[in-house]
């Protein structure tokens, strides 16, 4: 009996100390982590929005509700005139886990660029979606006339060799973002 009390109290004490330590660390790092996440997002937005003479426009977030889902568009304006919008979209059709992308659409109804925000596809195969040779083919594609599917599915996007599923997931996410943009265009560009 005495032993049980001793063992329990030692274990409890260690867990208490650990818990207190973690709470303290978490309270210190909470704000910087959020700031870093925001900075990361801002970087992805900058990558996919048009720039004038290398200068990035300020963006304002705009929440659009579509089918009970909230999509945050980051809208860039030049002296009040719409120049582009970026939106984060994701697809769960990837080979392992969610594929998250950021797609930027400019005032000419073209895709400005896409950025891969998060993915956990197979290294050397699906993970090659982050390489420019795949990513850059989305650039300057018209959002209305392009067939948003991989070539294997009679679309306009070249899939990555041996990684059709991952390629499909990217196209799927891009298409989802574009669809919401097209549907709510008036509201976004006003």
Partner 1 sequence: MKFYTELIKGLWKENPIFRLVLGMCPTLAVTTSLENGLGMGLASTFVLVCSNIVISSVRNLIPAKVRIPCFIVIIATFVTIVDLVMAGFAPALHKNLGLFIPLIVVNCVILGRAEAFASKNSVFLSIADGIGMGLGFTLGLAGLGAVREILGAGSLTVWGNLKFVIPGYEPMILMILAPGGFIALGIILGLMNHIQAVGARRKGTALPTPVHLDCRHCTICKFGA
| Binding span for partner 1 by CB under 8 A among 28-36, 65-73, 85-93, 104-112 | 28-36
| Binding span for partner 1 by CB under 8 A among 8-16, 71-79, 87-95, 105-113 | 8-16
Please pick, from the candidates 41, 64, 109, 122, the single residue that binds partner 1 as defined by CB under 8 A.
Answer: 122
26 versus 140: smaller Cβ distance to partner 1: 26
> Hunting for tokens 């599923």 — which residue is that?
165
CB of 141 to partner 1, least distance (A): 28
CB of 123 to partner 1, least distance (A): 4
Please pick, from the candidates 5, 28, 55, 186, the single residue that binds partner 1 as defined by CB under 8 A.
Answer: 28
SS3 content of the chain, % helix, strand, coil (to 5): 45, 30, 25
* 65, two tokens: 């509700």
Residues 6+ apart with CB under 8 A from 120: 94, 96, 97, 98
26 binds partner 1 (CB under 8 A): yes
Please pick, from the candidates 62, 107, 125, 189, the single residue that binds partner 1 as defined by CB under 8 A.
Answer: 125
Q: How many residues can be counted in the chain?
A: 190
CB of 102 to partner 1, least distance (A): 15
22 binds partner 1 (CB under 8 A): yes
Angle at 19 between CA 16 and CA 21, to 5 degrees: 105
Q: Write down the number of H helices and E strands in the chain.
A: 4, 7
* 34, two tokens: 């959020």
Helix boundaries (H) for the chain: 2-48, 132-135, 164-183, 185-189
What is the contact surface with partner 1 in residues (CB under 8 A)? Answer: 3, 6-7, 10-11, 14-15, 18, 21-22, 25-26, 28-33, 36, 39-40, 120, 122-125, 162
């Amino acid at each position: 009996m005495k032993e049980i009390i001793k063992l329990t109290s030692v274990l409890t004490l260690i867990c208490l100390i650990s818990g207190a330590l973690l709470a303290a660390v978490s309270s210190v790092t909470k704000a910087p982590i959020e700031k870093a996440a925001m900075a990361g997002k801002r970087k992805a937005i900058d990558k996919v929005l048009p720039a004038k003479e290398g200068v990035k426009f300020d963006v304002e977030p705009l929440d659009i509700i579509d089918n009970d889902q909230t999509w945050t568009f980051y809208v860039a304006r030049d002296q009040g005139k719409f120049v582009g919008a970026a939106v984060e979209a994701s697809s769960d059709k990837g080979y392992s886990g969610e594929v998250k992308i950021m797609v930027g659409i400019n005032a000419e109804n073209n895709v400005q660029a896409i950025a891969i925000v998060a993915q956990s596809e197979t290294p050397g195969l699906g993970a090659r979606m982050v390489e420019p040779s795949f990513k850059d083919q989305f650039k300057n594609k018209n959002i209305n006339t392009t067939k948003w599917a991989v070539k294997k599915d009679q679309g306009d996007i070249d899939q990555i060799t041996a990684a059709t599923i991952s390629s499909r997931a990217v196209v799927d996410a891009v298409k989802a973002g574009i669809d919401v943009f097209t549907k709510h265009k008036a509201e976004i560009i006003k």
